[in-house]
Structure 1
Amino acid sequence: MTVSAQEGSPIDSQLSSALAQQQEDARYCLQNIVGSIQYLSRQGIALRGHETKDELKRQHPLALYVHCGAHCLNLIAQSACRASPLINDSLQWTVRGKAIRAVLSQYERVLSSLEEMASSGSNTGMRANVLRERFEKGKTIPHQRKPPKRFTSEASQHIPKSAEEHYRTEFYKMLDSVHIQSEERFNQPDLNVLQKLEETLLTGEVNDIVDQYPELNRDILKVQLAMFRSKYTVKSSVEVAEIMRGLTVEVRGLFDQVESLIRLLLVIPVASAEAERSFSALRRLKTWLRTTMTQVRLNNLAVCHVHQETLDNIDLKEIYQQFISVTERRRHVFGSFK
């Protein structure tokens, strides 16, 4: 900080004026920095800077990781479509409903046009004739390529005898894929833990899973569940939670172990579909040029980018004051915001 000598003005007044000017300049720079971060977060531009499931389980062994149910169903549907090319092609045609309805409404004219094209005798006419025959025949068996001999050896290729047999085979391939994927996707160890906890809550039979949680006492929980089930009949953990909310504080204190068990069940989300809607923003946030960004910074940036309305309503002066109040040097450099 430099102070130019001014005649007729005390030196302490000049120092105070220079310090105030310096603090004002520092506050202006701080405002620009915070504003730039806010703008970059809205635009999805990452700043330079990995907590994973395994790391979380290492630090908190009782933390349960349950894969999103909606995402599991989505993966099952994708696998079923890949199992049968026929189903995959059919789903692609479902988005062309207007085109299909237009063909059906003009079906006779389409046939007459194909017949007229087939009479020309050209290559186009031959293709039109084949297409017209398929239109008139209705259900047909798609052309199947012969598999390589390294897969079939000397065995003959299976050829369905009718269209019904062909479509029945494709249908059962899809059902088989759905069955296998459902067992694999929903057979999760942590999901089984939640299932056993819920069975304890609904049946009153305390199992060994309860002993893993220090906030639960096996004997007291068994007694409280017997008292609770003798007065209320419930079929789901949601009903138990609604009953507990309706109880007074004094009565709820009699079922403190039941309340703790309900809290353990309710902290695990059934699905993360709402959070996964923000996945489309990842392509804008983490590009090939920003691969050095860590998971923690990516999470913080994604929260700011997805919740832009909340970001706009943040009181920036409060952030400035929190930043300044950390150390004495910052209070001396920036002063205070009014």
Structure 2
Amino acid sequence: MDMGSDYVNPKKTRQRTGINNEHHYRIDCFFAVLDMLVEELNGRFNTTNSELLCCLYALSPSGHFVHFNDEKLLKLAQFYPDDFKDLTILEHELHLYLDNVTHDTRFASLENIGDMAELMVTTKKHTSYPLVYQLVKLALTLPVATATVERCFSAMKIVKSALRNKISDDFMNHSLICYVEKELLDRISNEVIVKRFHEVKDRRGMKRKVVG
């Protein structure tokens, strides 16, 4: 396909579009899909979550730590004042850590934070730079925790319908767990569930029977 030739609308082959193939596929298709993805991400992640994820990317070791940014990492630490009480010490550690790992050939081929955390423990750098390692652990757990929360909020819109608007908090929590952890619950057989209910001693039916 010649990207410089005129674009022909397959539904209206005789009508001139006034654009070429490159414009159609780049602007009308590719950029349109990107806009939809950005809009979807903005709807699912608020400003704070997006900023946290951007700060986490500053810790990535890919490209021999080309994305390392101490300003963003210090900004990330400010969200957790209980874990990082002295940012001056953290800033000093970050500078020493970057200088150390960029001169260490064992860290040259790393691509993700998980491998970096494992290598830090292997080389004992997690004891030399404890605050940096604290950031690494935060970077590994935060995306999972954020995704879990987003999944729960999405599930809440489905579970708490108009007919269930007045359900109790406990019942809603149990329903959300069942909805979010579908794959885990599918492994539990019906026989196990029935046996569990038979072993429960405080069921309503049994209470009525005792009272009678």
Give the TM-score normalised by the residue count of structure 1.
0.36
Match in the other structure for 2:114:
238
Larger radius of gyration: 1
Structure 1 pair 304/272, CA: closer, same or farther in 2 (3 Å)? Answer: closer
Counterpart Cα distance in 2 of 1:140 and 1:174: 13
Q: Percent identity?
A: 16
**1:199 Cα shift?**
1.8
Which amino acid in 2 is paired with 1:298?
S
- The counterpart of 2:136, out of the listed 259, 262, 266, is 262
Match in the other structure for 2:174:
297
- The counterpart of 2:98, out of the listed 229, 240, 243, is 229
Match in the other structure for 1:176:
31
Which amino acid in 2 is paired with 1:177?
A
Which amino acid in 2 is paired with 1:269?
P
Which amino acid in 2 is paired with 1:226?
H
**1:265 Cα shift?**
1.0
Structure 1 pair 242/168, CA: closer, same or farther in 2 (3 Å)? Answer: same
Q: SS where residue 207 of structure 1 aligns? A: helix
The CA RMSD over aligned residues, in Å, is: 4.7
2:78 maps to 1:211: yes
Counterpart Cα distance in 2 of 1:301 and 1:287: 16
Counterpart Cα distance in 2 of 1:263 and 1:257: 10
Q: Is the 8 A contact 1:224 1:255 kept in 2?
A: yes
Alignment size in residue pairs: 164
Match in the other structure for 1:59:
none
Which amino acid in 2 is paired with 1:301?
C
Alignment of 1:303-318 (within 5 A): 305-308=182-185, 310-312=187-189
Give the TM-score normalised by the residue count of structure 2.
0.52
Which amino acid in 2 is paired with 1:196?
C
**1:304 Cα shift?**
6.7
**1:261 Cα shift?**
0.6
Runs of 5+ unmatched residues, structure 1: 1-138, 145-158, 325-332, 334-338
Counterpart Cα distance in 2 of 1:210 and 1:296: 31
Runs of 5+ unmatched residues, structure 2: 1-7, 61-67, 202-209
Counterpart Cα distance in 2 of 1:174 and 1:196: 31
Alignment of 1:33-48 (within 5 A): none
Structure 1 pair 169/141, CA: closer, same or farther in 2 (3 Å)? Answer: farther
Structure 1 pair 314/220, CA: closer, same or farther in 2 (3 Å)? Answer: farther
Per-residue CA deviation, residues 291-320 of structure 1 (Å, 9 max, x unaligned), is 655641321333575423553497968x95
Counterpart Cα distance in 1 of 2:161 and 2:59: 47
Structure 1 pair 289/181, CA: closer, same or farther in 2 (3 Å)? Answer: closer
**1:177 Cα shift?**
1.4
- The counterpart of 2:52, out of the listed 188, 193, 203, is 193
Which amino acid in 2 is paired with 1:262?
V
Structure 1 pair 245/168, CA: closer, same or farther in 2 (3 Å)? Answer: same
Counterpart Cα distance in 2 of 1:165 and 1:305: 48
Q: Is the 8 A contact 2:59 2:136 kept in 1?
A: no
**1:241 Cα shift?**
1.4
**1:223 Cα shift?**
2.4
Q: SS where residue 311 of structure 1 aligns? A: coil
Which amino acid in 2 is paired with 1:240?
M
**1:257 Cα shift?**
0.7
Counterpart Cα distance in 2 of 1:260 and 1:240: 13
Per-residue CA deviation, residues 194-247 of structure 1 (Å, 9 max, x unaligned), is 322442673344533422312013122222223322322356433421222324
2:127 maps to 1:253: yes
Q: Is the 8 A contact 1:221 1:258 kept in 2?
A: yes
**Greater relative CO (CA pairs within 8 A, separation 6+):** 1
- The counterpart of 2:89, out of the listed 197, 220, 226, is 220
Structure 1 pair 169/253, CA: closer, same or farther in 2 (3 Å)? Answer: closer
Q: Is the 8 A contact 2:52 2:76 kept in 1?
A: yes
Counterpart Cα distance in 2 of 1:140 and 1:209: 49
Q: SS where residue 161 of structure 1 aligns? A: coil
Q: SS where residue 143 of structure 2 aligns? A: coil
